[in-house]
């Protein structure tokens, strides 16, 4: 590694460990917005995934294909849709959410939901239906029976949550269009990396990239540990 890269890495680490206000404001906004979008979307998406897996109804294949299609839509297109909804003359213009964290949360919810629905549907489809049927036969309520199935599928569902969170935490297009990349208001990690790189301020971009890298490592190690605990031990 050249001296120039070492100097940039040192500057990046210095920004993180010195608790630089701009850097940590960006990190705080990024995580708070993405966590809010995930938490709001989580339960309804899981329920819909369960319904698509277990409940027969007319038009089910249409809903399933629509969800799968929504997963592949570029985030910038979702950003455009949300922008048009929130603009002054749009249907949701009265909310005044354009270039706010609330608008970013709405956009990330639309990105997050299809991932959660599709992956939870796949998980619920793979489960042994006898767990559900036995719970209902024994008099368990609908909610308790669903909880029993979720416990059986805790690893696939956790993977779905991690995948959805990773997608919204790292997306750029929607956050840039709906949030406006305003410092200390709507600037998050991906938009800040794009901006600082274009300005040639690589130290801050590297610092924020390190945060995403460390998060990815933590999540992977945590999931690996949980997966190891879930595997049956041989005697």
Distance CA(163)–CA(157), nearest Å, equals 10
Q: From residue 27, how far is each of 110, 164, 192 by CA, in Å?
A: 22, 18, 10
Q: How far apart are CA 8 and CA 203, in angstroms?
A: 5
What is the model's pLDDT at position 119? Answer: 94
Residue closest to 45 by CA, chosen among 128, 148, 164: 164
Q: Which pLDDT score is estimated for 227?
A: 66
Closest to 124 measured CA to CA, from 162, 152, 144, 165: 152
Interatomic CA distance for residues 32 and 36, integer angstroms = 6
Query: Within 10 Å of residue 42's Cβ, how many Cβ atoms?
Result: 19
Per-residue pLDDT at 229: 60
pLDDT value of residue 228: 66
State the average pLDDT over residues 181-204.
93
- For the stretch 18-52, pLDDT in tens is 999 999 999 999 999 999 999 999 999 999 999 99
Place 154 in a pLDDT band, splitting at 50, 70 and 90.
Answer: confident
- Average pLDDT for the chain: 89
Alpha-carbon gap, residue 167 to 31, rounded angstroms: 12
Measured in degrees and rounded to the nearest 5, phi and psi for residue 90 equal -80, 170
The pLDDT value given to residue 151:
81
Higher pLDDT, 52 or 222: 52
User: Which tens digit of pLDDT belongs to each residue from 55-109?
Assistant: 888 889 999 999 999 998 999 999 999 999 999 999 999 999 999 999 999 999 9
CB 42 within 8 A of CB 161: yes
């Amino acid at each position: 590694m050249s001296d120039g890269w070492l100097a940039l890495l040192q500057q990046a680490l210095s920004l993180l460990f010195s608790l630089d206000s701009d850097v940590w404001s960006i990190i705080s906004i990024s995580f708070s917005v993405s966590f809010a979008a995930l938490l709001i979307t989580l339960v309804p998406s899981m329920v819909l995934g369960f319904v698509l897996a277990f409940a027969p109804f007319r038009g089910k294949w249409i809903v399933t294909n629509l969800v799968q299609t929504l997963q592949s839509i570029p985030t910038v297109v979702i950003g455009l849709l949300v922008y048009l909804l929130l603009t002054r003359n749009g249907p949701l213009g009265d909310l005044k959410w354009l270039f706010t964290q609330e608008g970013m949360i709405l956009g990330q919810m639309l990105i997050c939901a299809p991932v959660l629905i599709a992956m939870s549907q796949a998980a619920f489809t793979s489960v042994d239906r006898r767990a559900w049927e036995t719970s209902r036969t024994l008099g368990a309520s609908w909610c308790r029976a669903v909880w029993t199935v979720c416990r059986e599928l805790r690893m696939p569902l956790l993977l779905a949550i991690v995948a959805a969170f990773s997608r919204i935490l790292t997306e750029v297009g929607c956050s840039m269009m709906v949030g406006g990349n305003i410092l200390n208001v709507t600037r998050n990690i991906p938009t800040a990396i794009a901006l600082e790189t274009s300005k040639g301020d690589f130290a801050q971009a590297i610092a924020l990239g390190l945060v995403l890298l460390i998060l990815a490592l933590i999540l992977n190690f945590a999931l690996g540990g949980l997966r190891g605990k879930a595997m049956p031990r041989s005697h």
